[in-house]
Structure 1
Amino acid sequence: MPLNLLIVDDHLIIRRGLARILQEDPRVGLVREAADAPAALRALRQEPFDAMVLDVALGERDGLDVLKTVRADHPALGVVMLSVYPESQFAVRALRAGAHAYLNKGCDPDELLAALVNAAAGRMYVTPTVAELLAHTVRQDSTRPPHELLSNREFQVLQLLAAGKSVSAIGEQLALSVNTISTYRARIFEKLGVRTLVELVDYARAHHLGAR
């Protein structure tokens, strides 16, 4: 039976391009598009999908945060995370959050289709690059860098702080109170072992934790 797919990306040209590529394959049936998290979650409630392509950087709401909601509400749905960011930055975090695959937007269309077919069947699709990262993570699990111990929301706040955003601006972007963001900020400082914002920015740069 052809796969019903949902493409979630905040850039129209990306969504349309992916839709056209996917619809050329006989294994693909229905392809729907969503530009943001509310539209994606609404689409998932309205129609049955076998798998979805989910961008990591999804406008105001973090793609990994959306993945958490999707996993809770649609546990059987296949999810392929697609991003311009390198595998070293988000792949392991995405797989831990419940994605079946993590691909760079520069990947071959055949690889994306293979990942979606596997995800729809409930199987993982791991590229050689991601496999190496996973192996490294297993070997180094006892000495993981501090930022890998952050929750997805803490990691998101870390990146926004490192990008120079104020606590109030972050709260507005994430639709959270200033007190909540301040609490996240304090937890981040404690977990990373930094005392000032300058030290946090230096840490983020040293570990290539660019803002999404």
Structure 2
Amino acid sequence: MLINLGLFDDHDIVRAGFRYILSQHSDIEIKAEGKTGREALAAVRSQDLHVAVIDLSMPDLSGMDVLKQAKAIKPELSILILSAYSEDQYGLNVLKAGASGFLSKELAAEQLVSAVRTVAAGRRYISPRLSEMLALGLTQDIEQPPHLRLSEREFQIFSKLVVGRSVTEIADDLCLSSKTVSTYRSRLLEKMGFRTNADLTQYAVKNNLIT
């Protein structure tokens, strides 16, 4: 089976490196590339993609936003979320949001190829570290970090609040009312035990969720 792949990252050098690695394998063909979330969504609509590799942080839409919208456009599409952050920060939330797997930008070449082939076959790609985290979470052997207790939508809004997006801006991004976003904000603050957006941002920086 030839795997039609889309590669979306705002760093040209990252895309070039991934393109080189994947081009060495005859069963993988890169059908689309882009550096913004909107370019990714346009490719999902217009190209017959089997797998999309999407960066978590892009200039316009976050990878989480693109993931949600892309799955609405094409539910059968397998999506690998790519990030400079480790599985500990975002891996579980990415899987909860519907991704087929999470890739660190520090992964080895063979892991990238294996991940693409795994999700193209309809399975999830779960690294040994993520597998361990899932097992610990299921057996409740460890206390989960506060951000892992959030629902998919709460985490989506949390990710925007910590980089300084206002309630109005988030409402526009997600096509929600400002009142709905405010309700989610209050709920996630309560779940995490914080009072202000500044508390959220401080937590995000301390836990390497943002730089």
Scaled by the length of structure 1, the TM-score of the pair is 0.83
Gap change, CA 1:45 and 1:139, over 3 Å in 2 = same
State the distance in 1 between where 2:199 and 2:40 align: 37
What per-residue deviation string (whole Å, max 9, x for no partner) do you get for residues 179-199 of structure 1? 554343322222223234454
State the distance in 1 between where 2:11 and 2:171 align: 22
Gap change, CA 1:175 and 1:159, over 3 Å in 2 = closer
Is residue 67 of structure 1 aligned with residue 67 of structure 2? yes
TM-superposed CA distance for 1:25, in Å, is 1.2
TM-superposed CA distance for 1:145, in Å, is 4.2
Gap change, CA 1:29 and 1:150, over 3 Å in 2 = same
Whether contact under 8 Å (2:92, 2:148) holds in the other structure is no
Please name the residue that 1:167 is paired with.
Answer: 166
More deviation, 144-153/130-139: 144-153
Please name the residue that 2:210 is paired with.
Answer: 211
Task: State how 1:44-59 maps to structure 2 within 5 Å.
Answer: 44-59=44-59
Task: State how 1:5-154 maps to structure 2 within 5 Å.
Answer: 5-140=5-140, 144-154=144-154
Structure 1 stretches lacking a partner, 5+ long: none
TM-superposed CA distance for 1:3, in Å, is 1.4
Structure 2 stretches lacking a partner, 5+ long: none
State the distance in 2 between where 1:141 and 1:74 align: 37
More deviation, 146-155/58-67: 146-155
State the distance in 2 between where 1:168 and 1:75 align: 29
Q: Which amino acid aligns with 2:117?
A: V
State the distance in 1 between where 2:42 and 2:51 align: 15
Please state whether the residue corresponding to 1:57 is helix, strand or coil. coil
| Root-mean-square deviation over aligned CA pairs | 2.8
What per-residue deviation string (whole Å, max 9, x for no partner) do you get for residues 51-100 of structure 1? 11111112231212211222222222222121110110111111122222
State the distance in 1 between where 2:172 and 2:103 align: 26
Q: How many residues align?
A: 210
More deviation, 71-80/193-202: 193-202
State the distance in 2 between where 1:149 and 1:117 align: 31
Q: Which amino acid aligns with 1:69?
A: Q
What per-residue deviation string (whole Å, max 9, x for no partner) do you get for residues 89-137 of structure 1? 1111111222222111111111111110111110122211111111111
Is residue 192 of structure 1 aligned with residue 195 of structure 2? no
Q: Which amino acid aligns with 2:73?
A: D
TM-superposed CA distance for 1:144, in Å, is 4.1
More deviation, 193-202/76-85: 193-202
Q: Which amino acid aligns with 1:36?
A: T
